[in-house]
């Protein structure tokens, strides 16, 4: 999709100098600074390539993500040929698209997350690659400004998740954000017994069987008490972390049934924030392992949320607090009504943007002024929703996305 400047386009302030090209992948510490630079970037009339790409497990298999990207690149190259862009600019855009493709050629270099964002502009010295926990949908956009709203939206909606990875004698704490995973200082049960096995009392040393039985009972009782103190300590550390107010959810990880052992020790407030449990080896797991596990748990939680949103759509539509269908949703967007935009990820439809009002429509005849062709109004509607600070939810579950007629919306207010 090639987008030209319009009254609806964002106005970015100036920033001195080009954005420097970062390393292949940018970690959490540098992302905020880069996003800040991108949002205030003065492109000085140059084209910028913005790419959001899904890297779900099904996309990685047999390089499907790369096949889809190459198809999109061919489509964008054909599109720019029709837009009257001069030859020198077309060649520059083609080189930027090739640089984006080269960044993804090696599957081994892909990030652990389920999405990636890339921004390229040769005249600006810009080549940024940012790993993401997910993207709303795969998009390849050529515009006069970088499309960074999804970066900010993903960071805000993802928030901070904490993962406690533990066994009976130790614990590791991880902070997971939209852009990376960081291990915090660990915990250890200093008074934990060395073994769960009771070795008994030698026959010559004890007065009778009663003492041996008592010793075994005391040993196992001590083990239970140590475990309880350890789990209570983990719960207290999680509660202390939650007091910062930026926690969005918890994931508990461990071996077998131990993964959920901390739940009874959590404050009720934190217990409601547990997204799920997962099996991981506490001693051997890496930060990448933790990130993958947390994203899997969060994805399951998102599927449950999708069901609730579709049910809410069905309940509120009759009362005028929701709409279902592309045209009716586009009208709601033009009025600023949309609270939550629901998107069918498989939907694609061309349309128009009215030059005078900036609103999207499926028919150019609905525009008062000149209609500007839009290759995919679903992508543009997503961007408009982010501009209006609406919540965006792409319905991935097949059983629920079939209830969405391309686009749907829960509304902030009803029209008279």
Neighbours of 320 (CB within 10 A): 12
Q: Residue length, the chain?
A: 416
The residues pairing with 52 across neighbouring beta strands, listed in sequence order, are 117, 139
Confidence of residue 188 (pLDDT cuts 50, 70, 90): low
Residue holding tokens 């959810």?
249
Q: What's the pLDDT at 326? A: 96
pLDDT digits 0-9 by tens, 299-350:
888 888 999 999 999 999 989 999 999 999 999 999 999 999 999 988 989 8
Gap between the terminal Cα atoms of the chain: 35
d(CA 150, CA 136): 8
| Cβ contacts of 82 within 8 Å, gap of 6 or more | none
* Alpha-carbon distances, residue 209 vs 104, 198, 216, 220, 227 (angstroms): 69, 14, 11, 17, 27
Q: What's the pLDDT at 217? A: 65
Asked whether the predicted pLDDT for residue 78 surpasses 50, the reply is yes
Asked whether the predicted pLDDT for residue 377 surpasses 80, the reply is yes
pLDDT digits 0-9 by tens, 111-134:
777 888 999 999 988 888 888 888
Q: At what angle do helices 326-334 and 377-387 cross, to 10 degrees?
A: 30
d(CA 208, CA 84): 99
Q: Is 389 left (phi over 0), alpha (psi -120 to 50) or beta?
A: left
Q: What's the DSSP call for residue 2?
A: B
Q: What's the pLDDT at 227? A: 85
d(CA 128, CA 318): 45
d(CA 149, CA 146): 9
The residues pairing with 342 across neighbouring beta strands, listed in sequence order, are 393, 408
Average pLDDT value for the chain: 81
Asked whether the predicted pLDDT for residue 239 surpasses 50, the reply is yes
Strand-strand pairing, 247-254 and 160-166: parallel
Q: What's the DSSP call for residue 176?
A: E
Which has more confidence, 169 or 212? 169
Q: What is the pTM of this model?
A: 0.74
**Do 44 and 17 contact (CB within 8 A), yes or no?**
no
**Residue 101: φ, ψ to 5°:** -65, -40
Q: Is the dihedral of CA 302, 307, 310, 316 positive or negative?
A: negative
Instruction: Write down all domains in the chain, each with its CATH number in brackets.
Output: 1-157 (3.30.960.10), 159-285 (3.30.420.60), 302-416 (3.30.1330.30)
Q: What's the pLDDT at 19? A: 39
**Do 178 and 133 contact (CB within 8 A), yes or no?**
yes
Asked whether the predicted pLDDT for residue 60 surpasses 60, the reply is yes
Confidence of residue 202 (pLDDT cuts 50, 70, 90): low
Query: Which strands sit side by side in the sheet containing 407-411, from one edge to the other?
Result: 322-324, 407-411, 338-343, 391-394
Which has more confidence, 26 or 146? 146
| Cβ contacts of 279 within 8 Å, gap of 6 or more | 253, 254, 255, 256, 259
d(CA 21, CA 17): 12
Residue holding tokens 């550390």?
237
In 3D space, the residue among 250, 344, 336, 337 whose CA is nearest the CA of residue 306 turns out to be: 344
**Do 295 and 163 contact (CB within 8 A), yes or no?**
no
Neighbours of 206 (CB within 10 A): 14
Neighbours of 354 (CB within 10 A): 21
Strand-strand pairing, 187-188 and 180-183: unpaired
d(CA 350, CA 75): 14
């Amino acid at each position: 999709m090639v987008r030209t400047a319009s009254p609806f386009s964002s106005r970015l302030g100036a920033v001195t100098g080009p954005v420097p090209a970062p390393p292949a992948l940018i970690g959490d510490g540098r992302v905020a600074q880069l996003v800040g630079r991108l949002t205030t970037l003065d492109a000085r009339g140059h084209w910028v390539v913005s790419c959001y790409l899904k890297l779900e497990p099904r996309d990685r298999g047999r390089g499907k993500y790369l096949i889809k990207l190459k198809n999109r690149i061919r489509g964008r190259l054909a599109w720019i040929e029709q837009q009257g862009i001069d030859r020198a600019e077309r060649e520059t855009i083609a080189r930027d698209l090739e640089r984006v493709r080269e960044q993804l050629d090696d599957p081994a270099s892909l990030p652990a997350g389920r999405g990636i964002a890339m921004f390229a502009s040769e005249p600006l010295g810009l080549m940024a690659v940012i790993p993401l926990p997910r993207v709303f949908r795969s998009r390849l956009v050529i515009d006069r400004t970088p499309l960074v709203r999804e970066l900010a939206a993903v960071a805000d909606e993802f928030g901070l998740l904490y993962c406690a990875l533990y066994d009976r004698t130790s614990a590791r704490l991880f902070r997971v954000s939209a852009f990376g995973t960081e291990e915090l200082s660990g915990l250890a049960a200093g008074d934990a017994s060395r073994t769960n096995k009771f070795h008994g009392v030698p026959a010559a040393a004890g007065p009778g069987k009663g003492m041996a039985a008592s010793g075994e009972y005391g040993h196992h009782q001590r083990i239970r008490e140590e475990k309880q103190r350890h789990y209570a300590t983990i719960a207290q550390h999680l509660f202390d972390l939650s007091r910062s107010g930026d926690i969005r959810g918890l994931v508990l990880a461990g071996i077998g049934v131990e993964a959920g052992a901390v739940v009874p020790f959590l404050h009720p407030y934190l217990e409601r924030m547990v997204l799920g449990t997962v099996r991981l080896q506490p001693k051997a797991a890496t930060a990448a392992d933790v990130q993958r596990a947390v994203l899997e748990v969060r994805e399951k939680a998102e599927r449950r949320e999708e069901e609730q949103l579709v049910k809410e759509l069905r309940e509120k539509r009759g009362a005028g607090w929701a709409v279902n269908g592309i045209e009716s949703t586009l009208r709601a967007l033009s009025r600023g009504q949309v609270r939550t935009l629901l998107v069918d990820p498989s939907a694609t439809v061309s349309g128009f943007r009215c030059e005078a009002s900036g609103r999207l429509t499926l028919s150019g005849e609905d525009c008062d002024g000149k209609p500007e062709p839009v290759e995919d109004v679903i992508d543009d509607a997503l961007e408009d929703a982010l501009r209006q600070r609406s919540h965006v939810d792409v319905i991935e579950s097949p059983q629920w996305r079939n209830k969405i007629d391309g686009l749907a919306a829960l509304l902030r207010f009803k029209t008279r």
